[in-house]
Amino acid sequence: MIKSKNLWVYRGDIESDSGQTDQLPVSALMAKVLKNRGIKNTDDMMSFLHPDYSRLHNPFLLKDMEKAVDRILEGLAEKRKMTVYGDYDVDGITSTSILFMFLKENGGNIDYYIPDRIEEGYGLNIDAIKKLKDSGTEIIITVDTGIAAVNEAKFAKEIGIDLIITDHHECQSEIPDAYAVIDPKQKECSYPFKLLAGVGVTFKLIHGLAKKLKVEERIWKYIDIVAVGTVADVVSLVDENRVFVKKGFESIPNTWNVGLRALLKVSGYKGGAISTGLIGFGIAPRLNAAGRVGDASRGIELFITQDENMAASIAEELNEENRRRQEMEQTILEEALELIEKELDMKETKVIVIVSEKWHHGVIGIAASRIMEKFYRPAILLSIEDGVAKGSARSVAGFNIFEALCRSSQFLTKFGGHEMAAGLSMPAENIKDFRIFINEYANNIMDDETLIPKIYLDAHIKTEDINLDLASELALMEPYGVGNPQPLFSFEGEIGSIRPVGKDGTHLKISFTNSNKTINGIGFGMGDYSKYLNFGRKISAVIALEINEWNQVIEPQLVIKDLKYTEEDEITYNYYLSLYHLFQHMDIKQKDDFIDLNSKYKLSVEDLFDDRKTILLVHTKANLVKLMKEIKNHQNLFNKKPKVWYTNICGSKSEYDIVVNPIIGQIDFNGYEKVVLYDPLWSHSEYGLLKKKTDILYWVEKNYTIHQDELKILIPNRQDFAVLYRHIKLLESLNVYSAFIDSLLAECNKAADMNVFKILLCMDVFEELGLIRYKFENDIVFFHDISNQKVSLESSKVLQKMIQWSKHLEENQRGK
């Protein structure tokens, strides 16, 4: 069965808004996508789809901007030595570069300083401030750092340095006592956009300086470098960030900056449109490599030089450093995975904390991201040196790692960052207690869905919605990134054709046929799906809609991100599999142990959906489908969507649990305020056990007719057995000894009416009679020892149990 590992979450109603869109400048579906991002009126829509510099906010709305600008202009006029103090990542490198170039261009006595990642660590440090003071620096301007430098700011003030802090990181309880502090996240700052990257805050400072110098027209050339830093720092690409990135991407192909041109070349750029992927996976890693495994100042020298030969040389160095970084990262990743397997119980671990004395400080952040992605859990990697553990943390949506570190601060000596990523240090002896504490904290605030990867969908899209006009309209939302993800839609279609493509069949080429219209799609890295998808099958997909141009043909194309059964097929598959598991445990008895449920326990449909903690037991497919429809009709009554469990696969309890075909002896009813039988149990012998386990039992209906009707079609006939056996023999002749259950169903249903229950029941009969040996695991049937002997199907105890079960239900229905 095709099972998605992701939770599909709609940003709003599943269907497109049908409200008034005739006065909006976009289609109804586009309006829905924009509204999901909080963009609701015409002006905001046009601003988002067509960003320009006129949409930027006044830089002097930032707290302390006026004060900072006046001091820097005074320093420029008096030729005071100023030093830009940056960080060693891409955000810091780009921030330092643009401020240095702007001040230099305007006659400044300017220098820059980047701390060594290994020797000095992140942020301002007192030794560096001393060094800068001795070199004649009178004004230090931090970029992308400084908001946590309380002690360092105090020291700078004591020795007569004017410290101007520009930063974008979260503020801690105490703000440094600096000459000026510019950070939109300060509580006292009323700036309308709080999500600028460090380079964005730096550019606002440049904008403020340019306004007072009356040289605004000179600053837009820096926008390409601003775009690189903004994308690399993974901030939300909305509001001003969207303007920076959109305008920056337009200018990058013809950039004036020789260093950026050289970096594009070694990154494999051949011309054409710029994407966040090119920046995130091509440009940024090479710039980051400068500070991770070498000297970050090379990144700044790359941007500020006007010598093309020097730029080419530095770019090649960074390219080589990046290759080295990749090798180190892979080594750390492999060692980290070994430690996880050896030291952690992943079933009990919410936050991964692992440590080594061998890991390079500059690379563990990337490795932490890889670990987080693999296990979809917050990951903290620490490297110990001289008794101090320093490391990086990466988190998943819904778990604020910065807040978690704030709560764990008693173990830490230093930390900083934001919701999804952070840096930290602590004495090595605190690691064990820190790991226990942060996992206990995570246990208390995470819900069951926090650690399930999520795909966020904008709407359900139908075949008739898909055309070039819509694809072109959606393309206006580029560039995509955090805060402005590519619009994704759920889609259902019947498979017209399917095949693996690309080297080694890595990718999936698929066409969907709906309403006499064919839509082509591609699933990158999804080639294996071709093994168990069949022509004519209806399937659900998560898709992005793009424009494909090939052989002078331009057409809309579905880019497939995820696949699974349709909701109807998923229910059907899980239902019959759960019934098969129940049948294996069932003890069929003729004795009627039915307990008398008097009328006061009878519930109406509306009574099902009150606010009591409920477990509801349902047994027939028809009633399961009916119940799911009732839930959709009454979804406004639920704070959380009810959870559906099958047979004994019942996980952590929620406010409203539905168990399909339960094995009564394996269900824990403690903690529920209401136990509801939606329809009768399959065997009356379990009523007594149910009554012993709970005294808060309610029921909806007692009718066994549906049970009888469903069971009759589940008893296999001779043709069912023959069709399945012939197909297995065919596979054996081809030296194939396993098959996806989907494939067996597809082949057998060409000549018989089969489902998962009947397939597995037939296999049990075959095994009992010595015709075959098999096991069923992860939706695959493995078989061997196939015999050609003649047998009597009627002698099978498994088959007789099925027949007896059917008779038992008939007798119960007659009241025996």
Query: What is the per-residue pLDDT across 530-556, written as a single tens digit (0 to 9) for each?
Result: 877 778 888 999 999 999 888 888 999
58: pLDDT strictly greater than 50: yes
Looking at residue 814, what is its pLDDT? 63
Interatomic CA distance for residues 697 and 684, integer angstroms: 15
**Per-chain mean pLDDT for the chain:** 89
* Mean pLDDT, residues 276-296: 83
17-31, 383-397, 446-460, range with the lowest pLDDT: 17-31
Choose the most confident range, by mean pLDDT, from 252-256, 512-516, 699-703: 252-256
Looking at residue 18, what is its pLDDT? 45
Q: Which of 465, 464, 463 is nearest to 473 (CA)?
A: 465
Looking at residue 685, what is its pLDDT? 74
19: pLDDT strictly greater than 60: no
123-127, 647-651, 715-719, range with the lowest pLDDT: 647-651
Looking at residue 816, what is its pLDDT? 45
Q: Which of 485, 458, 470 is nearest to 33 (CA)?
A: 458
155: pLDDT strictly greater than 80: yes
589: pLDDT strictly greater than 80: no
**What's the token pair of residue 683?**
């065997």
Kindly indicate the confidence band of residue 203, based on its pLDDT and cuts at 50, 70 and 90: very high
3-state secondary structure of 353: strand
Looking at residue 651, what is its pLDDT? 57
Q: What is the DSSP letter of 14?
A: S
- Tell me if the pTM is above 0.85: no
Instruction: Return the ∠ at Cα 310 (arms to 305 and 313), rounded to 5°.
Output: 130
Higher pLDDT, 681 or 595: 681
592: pLDDT strictly greater than 50: no
**What's the token pair of residue 642?**
């009810």
242: pLDDT strictly greater than 70: yes
601: pLDDT strictly greater than 90: no
Higher pLDDT, 775 or 708: 775
**What's the token pair of residue 667?**
């269900």
* Mean pLDDT, residues 307-321: 94
Assess contact for 144 and 117: CB atoms under 8 A: no
* Mean pLDDT, residues 283-296: 78
Kindly indicate the confidence band of residue 294, based on its pLDDT and cuts at 50, 70 and 90: low
Interatomic CA distance for residues 98 and 612, integer angstroms: 60
* Mean pLDDT, residues 178-186: 96
344: pLDDT strictly greater than 70: yes
Interatomic CA distance for residues 125 and 175, integer angstroms: 16
Kindly indicate the confidence band of residue 783, based on its pLDDT and cuts at 50, 70 and 90: very high
515: pLDDT strictly greater than 80: no
* Mean pLDDT, residues 106-126: 87
Interatomic CA distance for residues 715 and 793, integer angstroms: 12
* Mean pLDDT, residues 210-224: 96
**What's the token pair of residue 46?**
């046009």
List of domains in the chain: 7-17+455-561 (2.40.50.460), 54-321 (3.90.1640.30), 344-445 (3.10.310.30), 568-703 (3.40.50), 711-812 (1.10.10)
